[in-house]
Amino acid sequence: MKIVDAKVVVTSPGRNFVTLKLTTDDGLTGLGDATLNGRELAVVSYLTDHVAPLLLGLDPHRIEDTWQYLYRGAYWRRGPVTMAATAAVDVALWDIKAKAAGLPLYQLLGGASRDRVRTYGHANGRDIPELLDSVRAQLDEGYQAVRIQSGVPGLKAVYGVHSTDDSGSAVLHQQARPLVEDWDTDAYLRHIPAVFDAVRSEFGAELPLLHDAHHRLTPVQAGRLGKDLEPYRPFWLEDCTPAENQEALRLVRADTTTPLAIGEVFNTVYDYQTLITEQLIDYVRSAVTHFGGVTPLRKLFDFAAQYQIKSAIHGPEDISPVGMAAAVHLDLAVHNFGIQEYSGHTALTNEVFRHAYTFTDGHLHPGEAPGIGVELDEEMAAAHPYEAAYLPVNRLQDGTVHDW
C-alpha cells in the first residue's frame, strides 16, 4: 500500500480546525488533527510545503518509521508547529492501519482496559452564585467531575470565565486581535478558597473538583494555594506555574499534597523528564494533537506509569473531533488512564466532523467503527472557511504582560 495524496483542510465551523487527510492507492483514507489555536496557518504551511511531498509513495503501515523520519529528519526538533504537524501524520496513519485491519484503533493499542472513559466538564461563573448554577448545569449534562473557574472580585475578565459583551451575551475568546484579560494574583489567591468552600457546601464532599491556575503563579504562590485548598480535597490543581521550569515543581510539591497536573503546552517527553522521574506531578496533560500523535503519547503514558502518574489528555474545544477521537481510543486502551477533559463541540462542528465516539453519563466511548471513527464532510468544511483568530493575552493591572 502507498500514500498517493496528502491534503490539508482548514475549516471554521465556529472556530478554526486544521485537518490532514491522507489517501492510499487502495482508496483508504486517514485523518489527523493539526489544530494549533491562534497559529493555525503555520502548521498548514509546515504540512503542505514541507511534509506532504515527503509522504507521497510511503507505505502507510510504517507508522513508527514515518514518525522518526519526520522527527529526526527535519533536524529542527520539537516545538508546537512541528509536533502538531507530526501528530496529524501519525494519527492519519493509525486511522488507515486500523481501517485496513477492520478494527477500531483502540484494539490495535492493546484493546480496552476499561468499559468507558471518565471525563470532566467545565463550570464557570463571573461570581460564585453563577458558578454554582454552572456546576449544576454540568451535572445535569451528566458530568461526574467538574473543573471550577470563577471570576475574581475587581477583575474584569479572567481565564476560563466567558466574557460578556454589552448585551450580556457570551462572546467567544477568539477575536481578530487578542482579547486582553486582566490579572491580580493576590486577589485570585484570596478568592479561590472561598470558591471551593461554596462549591463543596453546595454539592458535597464526593464530587471530584478540578481547578486550573493557567501558569500564573510562582512556586511559592502555587504551594500556598495548594495548601489552602487541601481541606477541600481537589482532584487536582492544574498548570500552577509556567511549566517550562520543571525544577519549580520541587518547591510546590514540598509545600502541598494537593495533586498536580501539568503538560498541555508540552510537545515531547523531554519536557517531562524531571517532573516524572522525581514524581513531582500526578497527571500528564498532553494532547495527542500537540505531542506528535498517538505513537509518542503512548510512550509517555508508559513512562509515567512506572512512577504511578496517570494520563489526563488535554481536551479543549480547539482540539477537533479528529484529535478527540484519537484521545478517546488511547484513553480506553492505556492502563494508567486518569481522566479525560471534554467539553464537547458545537452541533455544526459535529456535522462537519461526524464521529463514532459517544458521551453518556459523563463518560466517553470511542465506538466500534474501524479506524478512529471520524468522517470529514469536505463540502461543509469548505462552506466555513478560516477566520483569523487569537487566544487572549493577559496583563496585570499596571499594564505588565503576564502569563495567560
Residues with active-site annotation: 159, 214
- Contact stretch for Mg ion (CB under 5 A) within 86-94, 164-172, 205-213, 325-333: 205-213
Q: Does 317 interact with Mg ion (rule: CB under 5 A)? A: no
Least CB distance from residue 212 to Mg ion, whole Å? 4
Least CB distance from residue 105 to Mg ion, whole Å? 25
Number of residues that bind Mg ion (CB under 5 A): 1
Q: Is the distance from CB of 361 to CB of 144 less than 8 angstroms?
A: yes
Give the amino acid at 156. K
Helices 321-333 and 294-305: crossing angle in degrees, nearest 10, is 40
* Nearer Cβ to Mg ion (94/283): 283
> Integer distance in angstroms from the first to the last C-alpha of the chain?
45
* CB closest to Mg ion, residue no: 212
Least CB distance from residue 147 to Mg ion, whole Å? 8
Alpha carbon distance 229, 238 (integer Å): 13
* Nearer Cβ to Mg ion (226/371): 226
Least CB distance from residue 267 to Mg ion, whole Å? 15
* Nearer Cβ to Mg ion (315/362): 315
* Nearer Cβ to Mg ion (33/212): 212
- Contact stretch for Mg ion (CB under 5 A) within 89-97, 119-127, 210-218, 351-359: 210-218
Q: Does 212 interact with Mg ion (rule: CB under 5 A)? A: yes
Alpha carbon distance 357, 131 (integer Å): 29
Q: Does 184 interact with Mg ion (rule: CB under 5 A)? A: no
* Nearer Cβ to Mg ion (99/122): 122
Least CB distance from residue 313 to Mg ion, whole Å? 11
Give the binding site for Mg ion (CB under 5 A). 212
